[in-house]
Amino acid sequence: MAEERANGYKSGSNLEKILRAGHFAVTAELGPPQGADPEDILRKARILKGVADAVNITDNQTAIVRMSSIASGVLAMSEGLEPVVQMTCRDRNRLAIQADLLGAYALGMRNLLCLTGDHQSFGNHPTAKNVHDLDSVQLIRMVKDMRDEGCFQCGDAIKGVVPRFFIGAAANPFGDPFEFRPYRLAKKVAAGADFIQTQLIYDIPRFREFMKRVVDMGLHEKVYILAGVGPLKSSGAARYMRDKVPGMIVRDEYVERMVAAIKGIPKEDKKARREAWRKTGIQICIEQIQEIREIEGVAGIHIMAIEWEEAVRPIVEGAGLLPRPTVE
């Protein structure tokens, strides 16, 4: 019954409309600054405008303090972007999360990505106390109950306007135990996730295997799955992600292509190397999107161009995904 409100939409967000209409969705990412200058957000928002259906605003990403996701989202909206607010369980208990969600909805946010959160030991406050009052599955259920049952986590009724979010969750096909990953996704769907954004994919065969299991379980019919991609910046960055970042798999072929990209360019010519790397990084990303698009069950793409928002337009354009559709 609740789902029949808002013209049949759960939230009425642009992202929801695009996905519901069957378009191949494009989301991007915007990282807030480690400072209080609104221009940092506005500048990135202008770069991303028109190339993505919605843009994730990270929440103290990698446990480094940044401008809040909700405040940044308000700024991004003022430039015409639709934000996906990211919310982690690391920094807030159930009271704080619900209070922030009421505020976010009141300020016009309609998409929410529910995350566990990177561990604080990675960030710039490693001696902080983490919260994890809820885990991401419980957070999804809480947001769904707020929307569909009109109640807080404790069961009390929400007074007046109920926050109606299009609920997102993350999935990492490259984490272990691999056998458990599709089931974990199923739990998130059962808890109430409407869309999924995956970890960065640099191992398409493994992603394909993951999606096969997801499709066999019928999950792709219950949730929109957006595959996570991102342009590599350099061969060093590719190696670093392959060797150092927990929960990632980067196939050697990508590292090798990034190494080959600067072949013949003298080491001193930093600018030319940078250009060559970036061109190849964007090219690989475009090819990945084309390959991933063919995989059954993939409803869209989530482009994470971290501190390189300028790369999103050529990627989306190169993948033949411009102009972005509009759904009334």
Partner 1 sequence: MIVAEQKPLAEIMELLGDARKVLVVGCGTCVTVCFAGGEKEVGILASALRMMSKLEGHPMEVDEATVQRQCEWEYIDPLEERLGEYDVVLSLACGIGVQAMNERFPDTLTLPGLNTTFLGLPEEQGVWEERCQACGDCILGLTAGICPIARCSKQLLNGPCGGSQNGVCEVDPDIPCAWQLIWERAVKLGRVDQLLEIQPPKDWSKSRDGGPRKIVREDLRLVEAE
Q: Which helix (H) or strand (E) holds 75?
A: helix 69-78
Which CB sits closer to partner 1, 67 or 113? 113
Give the shortest CB-246-to-partner 1 separation in angstroms: 4
Give the shortest CB-285-to-partner 1 separation in angstroms: 21
Residue that the structure tokens 């991609």 belong to? 229
Give SS3 for 132.
coil
Give the shortest CB-203-to-partner 1 separation in angstroms: 12
Residues 6+ apart with CB under 8 A from 75: 38, 41, 42, 45
Which CB sits closer to partner 1, 187 or 251? 187
Please tell me the number of Cα atoms within 13 Å of 65 on its side-chain side.
6
Give the shortest CB-137-to-partner 1 separation in angstroms: 4
Which CB sits closer to partner 1, 93 or 326? 93
Residues 6+ apart with CB under 8 A from 159: none
Which CB sits closer to partner 1, 32 or 117? 117
Which CB sits closer to partner 1, 13 or 197? 197
Give the shortest CB-37-to-partner 1 separation in angstroms: 31
Residue that the structure tokens 């019919």 belong to? 221
Amino acid identity of residue 95, one-letter, is L
As a whole number of Å, the CA-based R_g of the chain is: 19
Give the shortest CB-121-to-partner 1 separation in angstroms: 5
Could you give the CA distance from residue 146 to residue 183 in angstroms, rounded to a whole number? 24
Which residues contact partner 1 (rule: CB under 8 A)?
A: 89-90, 94, 116-119, 121-122, 130, 132-138, 141-142, 153, 170-172, 174-177, 179-180, 183-184, 186-187, 190-191, 199, 246-248
Alpha carbon of residue 267 to chain centroid: 35
Could you give the CA distance from residue 103 to residue 24 in angstroms, rounded to a whole number? 30
Which CB sits closer to partner 1, 248 or 315? 248
